[in-house]
Amino acid sequence: MKTRERILQTSLALFNEQGEGAVSTNHIADEMDISPGNLYYHFRNKDQIVSELYDRYHTGLSSLLDVPSDVVLELEDVWLFLHLVLERINEYRFIYDNLTDILRRSRPVRRQFGFLLKAKREAALSLCAALQRSGMMTASNREVEDLSTSIVMVATFWIGYESATGTTGLPQTGGGAHQVMTLLAPYLREPERSHLATLADAYRQ
């Protein structure tokens, strides 16, 4: 593996474990047993490392959020979709642990993160529309708009909540998926609402 890639992988692990704000380029170099000068040959500073890691995260998550407008969904499909999205977020969870500071420091990341939030909301709208078309969900257009915003808020900030409280007893990815699905529950018809409760109970076991 080339040194540049090792720097990125080591940085990601340290950022996730210790928090991006607590890790310096010297920490990264020490962990890799290389000189700081060797690290600076590949990256001018830590912000450049953060920016490149964010680009990888953004590209990977954006591909997941491309939900076809005519897709036919079952509840299990929605749950799987949420798992994949939240797993990707968890893989780069350092971004959300120090989100305000990272967005303040980097204008390009702030701009791209805004695009990502918009893509998340479009994906949520597409999922709700698919459930409406299938007859599994009953909601007005206004309710769908509000519901989609709530889905994005929970999916985006669940890891921060779980890290701060640790109160749910569920793994981060599964806990987030469960909370998003409970947002959908009041709008589901039977038997889908009962099916959702069964899925949730099975996950808690």
pLDDT of residue 34: 97
Q: How large a percentage of the chain has pLDDT more than 70?
A: 93
Answer yes or no: are the C-beta atoms of 44 and 23 closer than 8 Å: no
pLDDT of residue 203: 61
Residue 63, classified by CB atoms within 10 Å of its CB into exposed (0-12), middle (13-18) or buried (19+), is exposed
Tokens 């701009």 -> residue: 111
Of 94, 95, 84, 93, the C-alpha closest to 61 is 84
Instruction: Tell me the domains of the chain and their CATH numbers.
Output: 3-42 (1.10.10.60), 47-204 (1.10.357.10)
Determine which of 38-52, 100-114, 186-200 has the lowest per-residue pLDDT on average. Answer: 186-200
Residue-wise pLDDT for 136-161, tens only, equals 999 998 999 999 999 999 988 888 78
pTM of the model: 0.88
Flag whether pLDDT at 180 surpasses 70. yes
Confidence band of 30 (pLDDT split at 50, 70, 90): very high
| Whole-angstrom distance, CA of residue 41 vs CA of residue 35 | 10
The encoded tokens of residue 140 equal 């007005």
Collect all residues with Cβ–Cβ distance below 8 Å to 156 and sequence separation of at least 6: 89, 96, 117, 120
| Whole-angstrom distance, CA of residue 177 vs CA of residue 12 | 24
pLDDT of residue 172: 59
Residue-wise pLDDT for 63-106, tens only, equals 999 877 777 788 888 888 888 998 999 899 999 988 999 999 99
Quote the mean pLDDT of the chain.
Answer: 89
pLDDT of residue 204: 60
- Averaged over 116-142, what is the pLDDT? 92
Answer yes or no: are the C-beta atoms of 204 and 170 closer than 8 Å: yes
Residue-wise pLDDT for 157-177, tens only, equals 888 787 777 654 444 577 788
Look at 194 and 30; give whichever has higher pLDDT: 30
What region does 57 belong to: left with phi over 0, alpha with psi -120 to 50, or beta? alpha
Strand-pairing partners, residue 137, are: 188
Q: How large a percentage of the chain has pLDDT more than 90?
A: 61
Q: Which own/partner pairs from 73-77 qualify as long-range (CB within 8 Å, at least 24 positions apart)?
A: 73/127, 73/130, 73/131, 73/134, 75/136, 75/181, 75/192, 75/195, 75/196, 75/199, 76/199
Helix and strand totals (H; E) in the chain: 11, 0
